[in-house]
Structure 1
Amino acid sequence: MSQTPSAACCNTPAVVSKGYKEKGSYITVDGLKTYTTGPSSAKQGILVIFDIFGFFPQTLQGADILAHADKDHQYQIFMPDWFEGKPADISWYPPDTEEKGKKLGEFFQTTAAPPKTVERVKKVIGELKANHPEVKDWGIVGYCWGGKIVNLVSQSGTPFKAAAACHPAMVDPNDAPDVTIPMLMIPSKDEDKAAVEQYEAKLKVPKQVEWYPDQVHGFMAARSDLDDPKVKAAYEKAYQTLLNFFHKYL
């Protein structure tokens, strides 16, 4: 399933490869430092679940693109610091030594344990809804590890209307039948093809899967090398896909 790009495709702001200065500000939501961007008049909001490396310029820039790229369809974006100032060190990835693997494994089992974050998402969105009654519809997008969280919070009773998982970690076909809202998945070359295909087949909701077979896990977030023209082009195109999806389903 593919969609024709909206007119916004030609107005997406130029992607900055180095020294990006974010457009938003930081607030506190449920005790968490939270990056927020987008006009306060926007009637739709998107909660962002970043990857395990936290607030990276590439991820912040992505949030600003979602908020402002389409002048006719803007969003209020909120990206909490789920790790409370203690994200994973990007030098641990890829886990090509025993020590790196151990550190990543410990991080996933403690700080980034999915059930812990799922409960926090419920509290965060509850507070956001109370403080932003002007936002009528909420979407959610997650990167890497965040893609797993998105799957777990897109099930029965979800407060979200549409969801997106970008180069998602821990893709489990068994999560798919429980998803109750439209889902976009943007896998990279590092995702398990069979798992993604089985997941897609088991989804019972409106769905879109857009492969980027020449991009690495993380190309829309912290691991994006925006100095590389091919990566930069893929990053721009993928964010346009996200915008088109949320325009359609939010």
Structure 2
Amino acid sequence: MADSTLNPACCARTAVVTGTYTPKGAYEEIAGLNTYTTGPTTSTHAIILIYDVFGLTSQTIQGADRLAAATSALVLVPDFFKGEPIDQDVFPMDTDEKKARATKFMTTKADFREAVSAVLAVRKEAEEKFSRVESWGAFGLCWGGKVTALISGEGTLFKAAGTAHPGRLATEEAERMMIPYCCLFSKEDGTPEQMDAYTKALKNNGQDNLVERYSNMHHGWMGARANLEDEDNVKEYEKGYDQVASFFKKHL
């Protein structure tokens, strides 16, 4: 899928406002970004969690805490958008004005190349700050999944990476991956043909990849669009993060 093509599911829903959740970690500045830090700071393993376009939402913070607890890894969630995620009122993108605002956001604050540079800067500074870390992973939600795909090719500084409900699938990126990659699809992360092609590329690129399709879940079920007051979403949200944790425990 070309970078200019948006998955209709990405454009359809706003984030879900959830109930009260008390984070288990804390915030600190890393590479100039306010970064949520959770898990043991003395761990030898670390994961950079890259959020979706809605930024530091409660569901993503809760996912980071769950991932840290299950892996005993240090998990970092940098605020790449510096407190200014996409405006909720552009969803659904049903007018030209909303589409224009979303396009501006995606080509400025959410530019993928700049995001890759920011992730690498976070990793470099965090490597000095948390000197016991020996292996690094990266996991992304929708927009963040595109970023993790881009940092998993030749010359990667990560040992394993992955995504849930990935955004903007590009089969050639899956073909070029040089590390194990975990891909958890929802039922609507592209056309069936696009998801099938991406799956085939991951299964044939020579890495120990994990691919699964959550056919009963909507795009965003592990990120800001997770409805944690819905029993089915909670069950699959927890299953997804537990599956990701098992993947990183195996490969980091």
Q: Could you tell me how far 1:99 is from its partner in structure 2?
A: 2.6
Match of 2:195 in 1: 196
Match of 2:232 in 1: 230
Q: Could you tell me how far 1:113 is from its partner in structure 2?
A: 0.8
- 1:57 correspondence with 2:58: yes
SS class of match (2:213): coil
- 1:47 correspondence with 2:48: yes
Q: Provide TM-score, normalisation by structure 2.
A: 0.88
* Aligned equivalents of 2:75, 2:38: Cα separation in 1: 5
Aligned CA RMSD, in angstroms, stands at 1.2
* Aligned equivalents of 2:139, 2:160: Cα separation in 1: 9
Q: 1:102 aligns with which of 89, 96, 100?
A: 100
Instruction: Give the aligned length.
Output: 231
SS class of match (1:108): helix
Q: Could you tell me how far 1:89 is from its partner in structure 2?
A: 2.0
AA paired with 1:18? G
* Aligned equivalents of 1:98, 1:213: Cα separation in 2: 31
Q: Could you tell me how far 1:91 is from its partner in structure 2?
A: 3.2
- 1:117 correspondence with 2:115: yes
AA paired with 1:214? N
Q: 5+ unaligned residues in a row in structure 2: which ranges?
A: 1-17
AA paired with 1:202? A
Q: Could you tell me how far 1:233 is from its partner in structure 2?
A: 0.7
- Tell whether the 8 Å contact from 2:42 to 2:130 is kept in structure 1 after alignment: no
- 1:216 correspondence with 2:214: no
Per-residue CA shift, 1:110-151, capped at 9, x if unaligned? 110101111111111111111111011111000010000000
Q: 2:161 aligns with which of 156, 160, 163?
A: 163
Q: 2:72 aligns with which of 71, 74, 88?
A: 74
Name which of structure 1's ranges 200-209 and 73-82 shifts more when overlaid on structure 2. Answer: 200-209
Q: 2:85 aligns with which of 84, 87, 104?
A: 87
- 1:32 correspondence with 2:17: no
* Aligned equivalents of 1:93, 1:174: Cα separation in 2: 29
Q: 5+ unaligned residues in a row in structure 1: which ranges?
A: 1-16
Q: Could you tell me how far 1:93 is from its partner in structure 2?
A: 2.8
* Aligned equivalents of 2:218, 2:90: Cα separation in 1: 16
Match of 2:242 in 1: 240
Name which of structure 1's ranges 17-26 and 197-206 shifts more when overlaid on structure 2. Answer: 197-206
AA paired with 1:198? A
SS class of match (1:86): coil
* Aligned equivalents of 1:164, 1:103: Cα separation in 2: 28
AA paired with 1:29? I
SS class of match (1:170): coil
Match of 1:139 in 2: 137
Per-residue CA shift, 1:32-79, capped at 9, x if unaligned? 0000000122211000110011010000000000011x3xx4010111
Among all aligned residue pairs of Structure 1 and Structure 2, give the percentage whose two residues are the same amino acid: 38
Large movers: runs of 4+ above 3 Å: none
AA paired with 1:213? S
Q: Provide TM-score, normalisation by structure 1.
A: 0.89
